[in-house]
Amino acid sequence: MKKGYGNPDSWLYGYIAEEMDQAGLEKLVLYDDKGRPDGVKYNKLAIYVLEVAKQNVETIQVQEEKIEELEETVARLLNQQKQVEKTLAAMEKQLTKISRSEKAKEASVSLSKK
């Protein structure tokens, strides 16, 4: 804390201007004559936080919509997978029947030759 500001024996909580400057929050930083971070514009902080919160709400809404789309896509793909599995199972049964039928014909031909 700068000399002459508040009671030197008490703790005050706040932000560090240099860190805010490094984080890209220049609009919330006060600078000295040499352009160095010198303080924080606390009177602007609430407005800034509100705008960030609004942006976050918008981002969340977009992400929720995307999640809903993805969930619908996953459900559709799972349904398609079930249909493909049913089709494959039916094809396997048909192949098994054809294979048995062919084997029976071969056995019949083989017996008739004897």
pLDDT tens for 17-50 read 999 999 999 999 999 999 999 999 999 999 999 9
Q: Are 55 and 79 within one domain?
A: yes
Q: Are 51 and 103 within one domain?
A: yes
Q: Are 71 and 89 within one domain?
A: yes
Please report which helix (H) or strand (E) contains residue 40, including its range.
strand 37-40
Domain range for 51 is 42-113
Q: Are 62 and 28 within one domain?
A: no
Count of the separate structural domains present in the chain: 2
Task: Give the pLDDT confidence score for residue 14 in this predicted structure.
Answer: 78
Q: Are 99 and 73 within one domain?
A: yes
Q: Are 31 and 62 within one domain?
A: no
36 strand-pairing partners: none
Cα angle 57, 63, 65; round to 5: 105
Confidence of residue 105 (pLDDT cuts 50, 70, 90): confident
Is 45 exposed, middle or buried (CB count within 10 Å of its CB: 0-12, 13-18, 19+)? middle
pLDDT at residue 1 tops 60: no
On whether the CB atoms of residues 21 and 29 are closer than 8 A, the answer is yes
Task: Give the pLDDT confidence score for residue 30 in this predicted structure.
Answer: 94
pLDDT at residue 78 tops 70: yes
